[in-house]
């Protein structure tokens, strides 16, 4: 697999990426306009980059086209921001994998696991830190919470992608994605959109059952400030300040954030149980996983 890295808003390949991206995602609150990607990529350069680097530390946002061979057929795409954090004398790398997809013509051929592995491995190089092991990078992802989705959105997203929402969770769980037990809200991606509290925030690469709250705070500050708000002030967004304030307090008190392993709980569900959970509402996947975990311990 060959990766074409796009980090400039005027790169002609961005149009190719965006056309495939728009075919892959359909829900209004989860999609960016082309201008949104251009605004983010522009922050990799010039005075804006220097200002944001001083505020958030080293970063790089990219769009990626994955091809079967150099110059060959597109078999995947991704958009992410890579961030470097220097906390308590330790350098740590994170990435927010905003979007990852395999175009419909390439599905069913095993490209997704190769794409995820290649994108994750690229994080140190994106930050020009090849000396740090790629395994040190924590990769954060947003997933639809099937217990909080509107029925029409659930049906439309599942039909469009060809994957049921619970099966999507299982795919990520098989790749060791752990649910971050924190009330995550995705801030609005543009003025025409609204904040989204119907997502599950998960992480790949964590080595234990807890996540350092200081690291999560630093990661979300950079992700929100650059990828989501496109360099605008954090204090102007209430959903951002509420989350960062809560994490700052947890950081000061050295309270870690629990990580929930969804693997066993998801294995207990058949199609009827999934429907019953969705229809029972209101609730969230985090609440259900926490309850399932507690009952198993008891």
Is 297's pLDDT higher than 60? no
In sequence order, which ranges of the chain are alpha helices (DSSP H)?
13-24, 34-42, 46-56, 111-121, 123-126, 151-161, 165-173, 213-222, 238-252, 263-267, 271-280, 285-297
117-139 tens-digit pLDDT: 999 999 999 988 765 544 468 99
The strands making up 59-67's β-sheet, listed across from edge to edge, are 2-6, 59-67, 74-87, 90-101, 137-144, 199-204, 178-180, 257-260, 210-211
pLDDT at 131: 57
- Give me the chain's average pLDDT, please: 91
Question: Which CATH number is 2-297's, of 3.40.630.30, 3.40.50.620, 3.40.50.300, 1.10.760.10?
Answer: 3.40.630.30
Position of tokens 């649910």?
Answer: 179
* CB 150 within 8 Å of CB 104: no
User: What would the 3-class secondary structure string for 169-220 be?
Assistant: HHHHHCCCCEEECCCCCECCCCCCCCCECCEEEEEECCCCCEECHHHHHHHH
159-168 tens-digit pLDDT: 888 889 999 9
What is the distance between the alpha carbons of residues 280 and 295, in angstroms, rounded to a whole number? Answer: 19
208-231 tens-digit pLDDT: 999 999 999 999 999 999 999 999
pLDDT at 134: 43
Query: Domains of the chain: which residue ranges?
Result: 2-297
179-206 tens-digit pLDDT: 999 999 999 887 778 888 889 999 999 9
Is 114's pLDDT higher than 60? yes
**Whole-prediction pTM value?**
0.93
The mean pLDDT of 244-257, rounded to a whole number, is: 97
263-294 tens-digit pLDDT: 999 999 998 988 888 888 768 999 999 988 77
pLDDT at 135: 45
pLDDT at 204: 96
Picking from 101-110, 147-156, 242-251, which range would have the lowest pLDDT averaged per residue? 147-156
Which of 107-116, 125-134, 150-159 ranks highest by mean pLDDT?
107-116
Is 50's pLDDT higher than 50? yes
Picking from 53-57, 129-133, 162-166, 252-256, which range would have the lowest pLDDT averaged per residue? 129-133
pLDDT at 147: 92
């Amino acid at each position: 697999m060959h990766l074409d890295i796009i980090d400039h808003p005027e790169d002609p390949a961005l149009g190719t990426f965006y056309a495939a991206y728009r075919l892959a995602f359909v829900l209004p609150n989860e999609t960016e306009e082309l201008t949104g990607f251009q605004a983010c990529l522009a922050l990799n350069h010039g005075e804006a980059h220097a200002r944001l680097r001083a505020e958030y530390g080293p970063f790089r946002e990219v769009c990626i086209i994955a091809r079967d061979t150099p110059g060959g057929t597109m078999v995947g795409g991704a958009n992410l921001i890579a961030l470097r954090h220097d906390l308590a004398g330790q350098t740590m790398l994170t990435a927010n994998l905003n979007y990852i997809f395999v175009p419909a013509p390439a599905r069913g051929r095993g490209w997704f696991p190769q794409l995820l592995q290649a994108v994750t491995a690229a994080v140190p190089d994106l930050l020009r830190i090849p000396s740090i092991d790629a395994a040190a990078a924590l990769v954060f992802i947003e997933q639809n919470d099937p217990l909080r989705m509107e029925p029409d959105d659930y049906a439309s997203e599942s039909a469009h992608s060809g994957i049921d929402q619970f099966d999507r969770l299982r795919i990520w769980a098989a790749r060791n994605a752990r649910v971050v037990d924190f009330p995550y809200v995705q801030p609005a991606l543009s003025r025409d959109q609204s904040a989204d509290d119907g997502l599950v925030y998960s992480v790949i690469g964590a080595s234990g059952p807890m996540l350092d709250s200081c690291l999560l705070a630093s990661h979300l500050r950079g992700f929100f400030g650059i990828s989501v708000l496109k360099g605008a002030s954090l204090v102007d967004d209430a959903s951002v300040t509420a989350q960062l304030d809560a994490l700052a307090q947890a950081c000061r008190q050295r309270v870690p954030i629990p990580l929930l392993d969804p693997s066993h709980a998801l294995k207990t569900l058949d199609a009827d149980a999934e429907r019953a959970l969705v229809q029972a509402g209101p609730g969230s996947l985090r609440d259900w996983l926490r309850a399932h975990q507690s009952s198993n311990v008891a």
